[in-house]
Homo-oligomer: A and B are copies of this chain.
Amino acid sequence: MGAFSREFKPDKVLAFRFVDEELVKALTSFVERENVETGIISFIGSFRQVKLGYYDEKLKKYMAIEFKEGPYEIVSGLGNVSLKDGRPFCHIHVAIGLHDGRMFGGHLIEGDVLLAEGFVQVLEGEALVRKPDPDTGLAYWG
């Protein structure tokens, strides 16, 4: 596979604030409505509960790690928007902080937010498209 890259121009920036919503669903609906094909996602906030995923290379799937006794600070939320099966897809990783500051993190499967505030920096250019890789079970750009 090696390396892949593509050049874009910065387009508009969409600020978002969600309260009491499931973040993956809310963000995916939002970028779909705004016709975002490619973008950079970053946010902070807090979760009531969250399900993180850890990619198991042997089983070729995400194993879930559940956190149900929030709230948890969203210390960092980072990711991107690209196209998968013709629709905008949000790939997001989050780090959460407990009441004593200890942290857990991984791939965001789903999370109910008390508050999430952040940005989608929309990119202008030929859209990034995810293509399935049978070797890993993941879907890569390019």
Contact = CB atoms under 8 A, between A and B. Distances in A.
Interface string A49-84: 000101111000001010100010111111110000
Interface in A93-112: 93-95, 97-107
Interface residue tally on A, bucketed by range: 35 or more
- The A contact surface, by secondary structure, is strand
Contact of A99 (B63, B78, B79, B140): B63
- How many copies of this protein are present in the complex? 3
B5 A15 contact: yes
**Closest 7 pairs between A and B when the two form their complex, measured CB to CB:** A1-B19, A75-B105, A101-B104, A44-B93, A97-B105, A97-B106, A17-B141
Given A52-B101, A75-B76, A76-B75, A8 B15 contact: yes
Given A54-B73, A65-B101, A117-B141, A18 B3 contact: yes
Nearest to A138: B115
A38 to B, nearest CB: 7
Contacts of A7: 12-15
